[in-house]
Amino acid sequence: MGSLSFKKLTFAFVIAILVWASSLETCNARRGKHWRHSRGTLSSLYKKKGNNHGHQNIGQKSKPKPKPKQKHPLPSPEEPVAPPPQKGSKFNVIDYGAKGDGASDDTKAFQAAWADACKVEASTMIVPSGYKFLVGPISFSGPYCQRNILFQLDGTIIAPTNAKAWGKGLLQWLEFTKLVGLTIKGKGTIDGRGSVWWTHSVYDDTIDNEEQLIISLDNITVTKNPPVSSSLEEKMPSTKPTALRFYGSFNVTVTGITIQNSPQCHLKFDNCDGVLVYSLSVSSPGDSPNTDGIHLQNSKNVLIHTADLACGDDCISIQTGCTNVFVHDVNCGPGHGISIGSLGKDGTTACVSNITVRNINMHNTMTGVRIKTWQGGSGSVQGVLFSNIQVSEVQFPIMIDQYYCDHSSCTNHTSAVALSNIAYENIRGTYTVKPVHVSCSDSKPCKDVRLTDIELNPMPKGYHMYDPFCWQAFGELYAPTIPEIGCLQQGTPSSSWDPDETGCAA
């Protein structure tokens, strides 16, 4: 009985202990928030003092703190920043303040539009239709511009006609330099308004010495390039600008546009590699002096086709340093035909090679297809083909002139640019002065000149007419020719020369 009472007492004591412990945990749980806060405060204090080593709450397990939720701060107000222009962005000159009324100077607007277009790859600078923009001399320059910029020309750009805008004279009006992949296209016009230049500088211009052979039946030498009438009295500088020039550029294209009335050359490519010109129109009077249509110099890998070229000088002029040039399906006239040269002026070395000109229509031009070099020069012209040339009322359809001189008289020299591998094939139509004129150097006769399928009939126009003429020209005639060309010597010259000695790369 006593043992039973002891067991009951023990059991009751255990129950009491459990109840007390339970109430203690409930109390701690209610106060837990404050304890956790207290521990955090102490911990932060110890951290601030750098003396938290060995301080732990004995008998309590440390629990990892949950990561506090990140609160996104409200953005502070900032001035909005425009995003950078994207590839292919468009820049209209009207948006940069251009008036396009033909009287206000829009040069600065064009400069500003180009400055932005230059920074964006494949951007487009827009010159819109329905406007006439007066723009002074300007250079759209690289080399830090992005690639593949499109200059979309649908309006009209006109040149200033006051002498002050040109200073002492400039070589170009609109210039694009050191660019890659630039394209100028559209239905617009570049108008050089060149008549004010032609009027006051005509007597200072060089002449084509073939004009000396143009004699009327009354023995009166025909005067070329008469002054063009103008109501303006102000004299322009003696240095006349090219309307549109490309320099030091790669893979450039010009298509669709019209270039007219340039003071001098209309379109020039200098030191360019990869040139494409098509669906181009060039227009200036036949008596406008030195207004070449397209002028190539030190340029290679050139393709020109489907163009209408009317001017006062060479429709296409191919100068020193040109190679791999292909011209086809071009209408030329009026003008001086398609020429290689002039080369070797002032004793310089000229190198031209791999030139093909075919499927050309020429009407009312001075020469047809021509090579012209100065006495005293050096270098070579090699690998030239003139093929499928239709001429109508052309004064000299076929010409090689190694005694070229653009003044009234020139000094005789023995050295010359060497000519070889020159082919004329399928040249047909009418001439008004002389069908063939091949005048080569005594010291370096022309060799490997080939004439094939030549049919040229006289068209009397009141000038003295000549028979075919050759001098120091060696090569071959293939098929009957009209008229008979008996002056070309067969074989090779006795004083033959080595192409490797001309100073031009093979």
Which listed residue (266, 295, 336, 437) is catalytic?
A: 336
- In this structure, what are the phi and psi dihedrals at residue 164, rounded to the nearest 5 degrees? -60, -35
For residue 264, give the 3-state DSSP assignment: coil
**φ/ψ bin of 359: left (φ > 0), alpha (ψ from -120 to 50), beta (otherwise):** left
β strands within 56-100, DSSP E:
90-92
Distance, in Å, from the CA atom of 191 to the CA atom of 133, rounded to the nearest integer, reads: 10
Q: With 0-12 CB in 10 A as exposed, 13-18 as middle and 19+ as buried, what is 60? A: exposed
Q: Pick from 243, 268, 262: which is nearest to 195 by CA?
A: 262
Q: Bridge partners of 450?
A: 423, 476
464 in catalytic set: no
- For residue 186, the tally of other CB atoms under 10 A from its CB is 20
**φ/ψ bin of 127: left (φ > 0), alpha (ψ from -120 to 50), beta (otherwise):** beta
Sign of CA pseudo-dihedral 99, 104, 110, 113: negative
Encode burial over 383-410: b for 16+ CB neighbours within 10 A, e otherwise: bbbbbbbbbbebbbbbbbbbbbbeeeee
Q: Report DSSP state, residue 306.
A: E
β strands within 182-248, DSSP E:
183-185, 189-191, 242-247
CA 353 to chain centre: 22
Check: CB of residue 293 under 8 Å from CB of residue 335: yes
| Residues annotated as part of the active site | 336
